[in-house]
Structure 1
Amino acid sequence: MDKETLVLVHGAWHGPSCWDRLVPELEERGWRTSTVDLPSTSGDPHAGMYDDARAVREHLRAIEGPVTVLAHSYGGIPVTEVAETVPNVRRLVYLAAHMLQVGEALVTPLGGPWFPQDAELLPAPESPIEALYHDVPAQWAQAAVARLRPQSARSFIEQQTRASWRSVPSALIVCDDDRSMPELFIKRQLTMAGAVRHLLGSHSPFLSRPGELAGVIDEVTDALAARG
């Protein structure tokens, strides 16, 4: 497959800097990369999933030529909301990411919010290294923790109106020692994706094993391209 633009969409509490170790590996393999900064991690409690989805759509529309989108964790939700509305999006890669059905929010499969009803901004998870970075080199893990930002509660309760993974060829990368993604999400998503690959390690392979992750991204995008 001729390489194209790979748009990277971060997850909750993160920002574009989370991709710093992965981008050089992708560019060595011929990808052009571009990153999105989601409004829901800006500190604005009124910025929700729909605001994130608009930011993703505007970013995608500004890119010329075919695009593959790689979404991590929560980032899969706004990507799912808008990817099918942008004609140059060819493939979706969900990296330890949520693939929701129409009418669902992130909290729906869990039976509802785990946070207070009046919460506006949610702090990063307790023990973030254990939850997100347990196999990341200490220097990078500590830097990643220092960069975590509050996440708007609104982003977790706004519901999908589209499920782009149904119409856009999509792959799922499962992290086999993921201590952040609930197993119930992983199990049901195995049947949603057109291709599934497993990767050793934590929820954050872009920091723990960027070279290996870049190779898996190549593998799954080639597999989707071969299917037409």
Structure 2
Amino acid sequence: MVNKETLVLVHGAWHGPSCWDRLVPELEERGWATSTVDLPSTSGDPRAGMYDDARAVRDHLRALEGPVTVLAHSYGGVPVTEVAETVPNVRRLVYLAAHMLEAGEAVVTPVGGPWFPQDAELVPAPEPPVEALYHDVPARWAEAAVARLRPQSARAFTEQQTRASWRTVPSALIVCDDDRSMPELFIKRQLTMAEVVRHLPGSHSPFLSRPGELAGLIDEVTEALPARR
């Protein structure tokens, strides 16, 4: 077993820290201290982009004492990848159905460009949201999650990374096998990027659909990863 440390949770596009509400108790029962980041690009401000999110993640990480593991979901993998290697106490990265991009890439790069109008400032959540994000989540939790979805800035998807922290920080990838949100081309190429790869059944949002199983898998992959020194 690894010595439990702080696990920083970084949400994805359209979401906020409340998405972790079912997972946090499971993690804390297993001995993790948890801390969440709120990304500016989901605040409804179209001027906030990936670099603003990256600064928020970096500042949050720098304020923590002791070793840290970062769990990033979906788009949250992008700002985490941009800054994690610059914070010395970050020991491991866990990408949960998350983007692992190379330096010089943005979210839109692998798919050949924006899937939204070029002049869009805010990008709506996928429709229908339950089918795209929460199809196996209990109905009351899915309804609550949909009600909490927030506007997402288009800029977050188009600003290019300058670093690929998964190259220097030991990293794991958790693939959701019935993920109806993450394009398959992202998943396939990321299988060779992470040092440890594990699979979960179900949707893009296992923190809501199977939080206990996810917490156990987080334990497993962090035990399997070496710690950055």
Q: TM-score range by the shorter chain?
A: over 0.9
How many positions carry a matched residue from both structures?
A: 228
Does residue 73 of the first structure (1) align with residue 74 of the second (2)?
A: yes
* Runs of 5+ consecutive residues of structure 2 not aligned to the other structure: none
C-alpha distance in structure 2 between counterparts of 1:84 and 1:115, whole Å: 31
Matched residue SS, 2:225: helix
- Give the drift of 1:125: 1.2
Match of 2:226 in 1: 225
- TM-score, normalisation: structure 1: 0.99
- Give the drift of 1:20: 0.1
C-alpha distance in structure 2 between counterparts of 1:175 and 1:156, whole Å: 21
Query: Quick check: 2:90–2:228 contact (8 Å CA) kept in 1?
Result: no
Does residue 4 of the first structure (1) align with residue 41 of the second (2)?
A: no
Match of 1:32 in 2: 33
Query: What is the letter of the counterpart of residue 161 of structure 1?
Result: T
Deviation above 6 Å: which 4+ runs of structure 1? Answer: none
Matched residue SS, 1:108: coil
C-alpha distance in structure 1 between counterparts of 2:196 and 2:179, whole Å: 19
Match of 2:54 in 1: 53
Match of 1:91 in 2: 92
C-alpha distance in structure 2 between counterparts of 1:219 and 1:60, whole Å: 23
- Give the drift of 1:123: 1.4
Query: Quick check: 2:93–2:166 contact (8 Å CA) kept in 1?
Result: yes
Does residue 19 of the first structure (1) align with residue 20 of the second (2)?
A: yes
Question: Deviation digits for residues 3-32 of structure 1, max 9, x if unmatched?
Answer: 000000000000000000000000000000
Match of 2:185 in 1: 184
Match of 2:154 in 1: 153
Match of 2:137 in 1: 136
* Runs of 5+ consecutive residues of structure 1 not aligned to the other structure: none
Matched residue SS, 2:9: strand
* Superposition CA RMSD, Å: 1.0
- Give the drift of 1:225: 3.1
C-alpha distance in structure 2 between counterparts of 1:226 and 1:34, whole Å: 19
Match of 1:195 in 2: 196
- Give the drift of 1:227: 9.7
Matched residue SS, 1:33: strand
Matched residue SS, 1:56: helix
C-alpha distance in structure 2 between counterparts of 1:226 and 1:152, whole Å: 34
C-alpha distance in structure 2 between counterparts of 1:227 and 1:30, whole Å: 21
